Amino acid sequence: MSLPHAILTALLEKPSSGLELTRRFDRSIGFFWSATHQQIYRELGRLEREGLVRASGPGVGRGQRKEYEVLPAGRAQLREWVGQAQDPKPIRDPLLLRLRAAAVLGVDGLEEELARHRELHRAQLAEYLEIEARDFPPERAETENRLQHVVLQAGIQLESFWLAWLDQALEGT
């Protein structure tokens, strides 16, 4: 049940229409919780029905822009969710599965694919580092937006892990 809370968070940061939310999911929040516009509209409908957000604007039908904002009940809901204990989920990665299958089948045409993944992770890491350089320059004292920086660092370190691991996996091939 993370998507509704991702949306509530995004709307608290800035009230938006469905499409604007979609774009922001493609950029910032989507780095660790992606969503398509279909998901977002479906969820906004639910959140409105449950009285957690409110839509303003003329539109009722299709093509009419609606702006959503979070109601107090929505903020309370989000706060409760953040406070709940939730266990981390085990890894779920098709690439690891494919390596295991390759171990059984004796397939060895996998180097290309590993190299391709390495390139993708390299690019993603570069993007994160750019964001870090822009939004969290070393001279700025970190107090208020420390949490955002920590989240970004998780992304950076995860991509670094994949890079190092893929190097290692390719080394012996």
Residues between 40 and 59 with contacts to a copy of itself, criterion CB under 8 A? none
User: Among 9, 15, 24, 129, which residue sits at the site for a copy of itself (rule: CB under 8 A)?
Assistant: 9
Please tell me what DSSP assigns to residue 27.
T
Sorted by sequence, the CB contacts under 8 Å of residue 121 that are 6+ apart come out as 159, 162, 163, 166
The residues near 108 (Cβ < 8 Å, ≥ 6 apart) are 102, 173
Give the footprint of DNA on residues 128-157 (CB under 7 A): none
Residue 65: DSSP 8-state = -
Q: Taking CB under 8 A as the rule, which mask of x and - marks residues 65-104 in contact with a copy of itself?
A: ----------x--xx-xxx-xxxx-xxxxxxxxxxxxxxx
* Amino acid at residue number 97: L
Q: Which stretch binds DNA (CB under 7 A): 39-47, 98-106, 122-130, 132-140?
A: 39-47
CB of 142 closer than 8 Å to CB of 135: no
* Per-residue interface string for the shown chain with DNA, residues 77-96, x marking contact by CB under 7 A: ------------x-------
| By the rule CB under 8 A, 6 interacts with a copy of itself | yes
